[in-house]
């Protein structure tokens, strides 16, 4: 009987852990670039009745399940236009912007491209920053300066004219090495660790890989990957599983009470 108590209680605790994952997905349904998590479960020890340990029979008993880990799919999601030139969406799967905390220097990664210009102590110098106040880094791992407004282009647009840029071969050669908005990927993105604020950090030993010629679109943002309908279905399933696990504990308690009364 002790085993039935343990299995039921373990099932209820597992449902609570899964509910936490679902609630986190729902809470981030409006966060740009958010990737929902999926809970992965594994069976605990199974054993055979009236047979050897390695045999596979119909008479098998187990000790329940546990939540092994959570994982996310870092694919490209739906895009929504914002008409802001410093909003960016990554059109590559398993790719991230590299950002840095200006205070601690810690580097993390995110798919949210909702940036803004922030003025530093240097007058007239602007850097791209995230909503959380972190610096966006370029292909060299340095803070990326935000481009200032092109006055000539704006005046031409107001006058209904087309602005033509003057380019030469020397400028093109220099632009190839100029700091630019870059994205990074990893050999095994599923191992990334969520650190909050829609950001991720790689485990020790896993290095970022610069994505050459990555597709990045300006003026749009990647929507949250949370599917409201799917998450609500998962929540209902989890609630029912939780009630069944508690009922198992209650039934085991009633059986135990009946046995103890007969012994008396």
pLDDT at 178: 78
pLDDT at 154: 41
pLDDT computed for residue 35 by the predictor? 92
**Pairing state of beta strands 88-90 and 216-218?**
antiparallel
φ, ψ dihedrals at 38, nearest 5°: -120, 130
pLDDT for 253: 83
Beta bridge partners of 81: 220
Predicted local confidence at residue 163, as pLDDT = 47
At residue 172, the pLDDT reads 43
CA distance 2 to 76: 48
pLDDT for position 69: 81
Q: What is the pLDDT of residue 213?
A: 87
∠ CA 103-104-109, rounded to 5°: 105
- pTM for the model: 0.74
Q: What share of the chain is helix, strand, coil (3-state, %, to 5)?
A: 30, 25, 40
Question: For the chain, how big is the Rg over CA atoms in Å?
Answer: 27
Q: Give residue 150's pLDDT.
A: 45
Please report, for residues 39, 72, 123, the alpha-carbon distance to residue 25 in angstroms, rounded to integers and kept in the order given.
Answer: 11, 11, 41
Ranges of the chain with pLDDT below 70:
1-2, 43-63, 119-123, 147-177, 264
**What pLDDT is recorded for position 151?**
42
């Amino acid at each position: 009987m002790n085993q039935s108590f343990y299995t039921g209680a373990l099932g209820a605790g597992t449902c609570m852990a899964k509910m936490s994952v679902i609630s986190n997905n729902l809470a981030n349904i409006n966060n740009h670039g958010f990737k929902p998590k999926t809970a992965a479960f594994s069976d605990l020890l199974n054993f055979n009745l009236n047979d050897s340990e390695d045999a596979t029979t119909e008479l098998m008993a187990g000790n329940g399940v546990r939540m092994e880990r959570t994982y996310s799919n870092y694919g490209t999601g739906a895009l929504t236009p914002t008409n802001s030139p410093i909003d960016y969406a990554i059109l590559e799967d398993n790719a991230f912007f590299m950002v840095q905390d200006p205070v601690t220097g810690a580097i993390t990664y995110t798919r949210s491209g909702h940036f803004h210009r922030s003025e530093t102590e240097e007058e007239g110098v602007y850097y791209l920053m995230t909503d959380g106040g972190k610096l966006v880094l370029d292909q060299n791992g340095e803070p990326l300066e935000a481009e200032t407004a092109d006055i000539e282009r704006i005046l031409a647009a107001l006058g209904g004219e087309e602005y033509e840029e003057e380019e030469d071969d020397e400028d093109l050669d220099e632009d190839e090495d100029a700091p630019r908005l870059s994205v990074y990927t990893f050999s095994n993105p599923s191992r990334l660790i969520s650190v909050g604020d829609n950001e991720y950090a790689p485990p020790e030993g896993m290095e970022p890989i610069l994505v050459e010629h990555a597709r990045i679109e300006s003026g749009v943002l990647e929507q949250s990957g949370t599917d409201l309908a799917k998450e609500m279905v998962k929540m209902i399933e989890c609630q029912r599983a939780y009630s069944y696990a508690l009922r198992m504990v209650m039934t085991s308690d009633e059986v135990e009470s009946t046995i103890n009364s007969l012994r008396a």
